[in-house]
Amino acid sequence: MAKQVQTEFDWFAQRAAATPALPAVEEASALNQALLPGMQVEGDDQEVPAVATSRERRHPAVLPVPKPLPSAIERGHFGEDEHGPIRPTSAEVRAITENLAERLVNLRDGLAEVERFMANSQCSDRGRLYHEKDRLLSAYQGAIAMYAEDFGEPAANRVDAYARHQRVLR
């Protein structure tokens, strides 16, 4: 890549030197193929090894099955029996999460429908639509907050991402 240098202009220079001297520009060197891992050059038969990433990226819209927070278990959010608070199994946590995700997707569907009606200029009862939008948004945010109390903020963010992703897939 060529290096750019700004040319200086002096208003008070004599007219004799009207053309300023331009700095020399370095020629761009050819791109070295060895710097591009995992790419094959035409006519090159040798295999270039692919660079391994330090950590594979996971899709953010994966339904989480987190461990419940100890504070939520102590408060009895999952119930109590004669031995004390109940610690839910991973199958129970998955069922809780799937149920919540389905509710969140349905709330997102409702929000999209309200937004579609609000975009329609022919709608006569906009006050009712604003009220419905607030109700759906509050229910959505409340469900995420309750899940965060029981399983933590990162798990709640993942359920939110999952619900948004499922909404897009529909």
pTM, to two decimals: 0.61
Mean pLDDT throughout 74-84?
Answer: 88
Please report how the helices 153-169 and 90-119 are oriented relative to each other, as an axis angle in degrees rounded to 10.
50
Report whether 129 contacts 114 (CB < 8 A).
Answer: yes
Is residue 102 in a domain?
Answer: yes
Is residue 39 in a domain?
Answer: no
Q: What total of structural domains would you count in the chain?
A: 1
Is residue 132 in a domain?
Answer: yes
- pLDDT (tens digit per residue) in 11-64: 666 555 555 566 665 565 555 555 455 555 555 555 545 555 555 555 456 788
Is residue 56 in a domain?
Answer: no
Is residue 77 in a domain?
Answer: yes
Question: H helices of 88-125, where?
Answer: 90-119
Residue 19, class by beta-carbon neighbours within 10 Å (0-12 exposed, 13-18 middle, 19+ buried)?
Answer: exposed
